[in-house]
């Protein structure tokens, strides 16, 4: 059965800390892996990863995919209170289905 598992489920850190969020997957016919950030509303797109070992970077956020070990990580450096959100990982398979993980809830305290 196809599945996407995120860890940890929840995380509380202080401003300035660096966090690493994990996403492992077992999905047949993998096409891409996506990261989203969800605050109190709709998820917003962060990254799309299709190739192993190529880091995607946007400001303090970065992500990388390992297609051999079937996982991805999302790193956030120098965290700010505005980074508090649920971070969702989704895997797209051929056949045009998305599989979302349950998300990691990140709380950044001042």
Partner 1 sequence: EAQVTQNPRYLITVTGKKLTVTCSQNMNHEYMSWYRQDPGLGLRQIYYSMNVEVTDKGDVPEGYKVSRKEKRNFPLILESPSPNQTSLYFCASSIIPLGYGYTFGSGTRLTVV
Smallest separation (angstroms) from partner 1 to the CB of 99: 8
End-to-end Cα, the chain, rounded Å: 41
Residue 34 interacts with partner 1 (CB under 8 A): yes or no: yes
CA distance readout (Å), 97 to 8, 18, 61, 100: 24, 32, 26, 10
Q: Rule CB under 8 A: say whether 21 interacts with partner 1.
A: no
Answer yes or no whether residue 44 interacts with partner 1 by CB under 8 A: yes
Do the bridges between strand 61-66 and strand 71-76 make them parallel or antiparallel, or are there none, so unpaired? antiparallel
Q: Which residues bind partner 1 (CB under 8 A)?
A: 31-32, 34, 36, 41-45, 48, 50, 88, 90, 92, 96-98, 100-103
């Amino acid at each position: 059965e196809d599945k996407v598992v995120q860890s940890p489920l929840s995380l509380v850190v202080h401003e300035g800390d660096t966090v690493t969020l994990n996403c492992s997957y077992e999905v047949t016919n993998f096409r891409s892996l996506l990261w989203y950030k969800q605050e109190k509303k709709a998820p917003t797109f962060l990254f799309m990863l299709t190739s192993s070992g190529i880091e995607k970077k946007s400001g303090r956020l970065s992500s990388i995919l390992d297609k051999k070990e079937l996982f991805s990580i999302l790193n956030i450096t120098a965290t700010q209170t505005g980074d508090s959100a649920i971070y969702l990982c989704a895997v797209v398979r051929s056949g045009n289905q998305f599989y979302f993980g349950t998300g990691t809830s990140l709380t950044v305290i001042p």
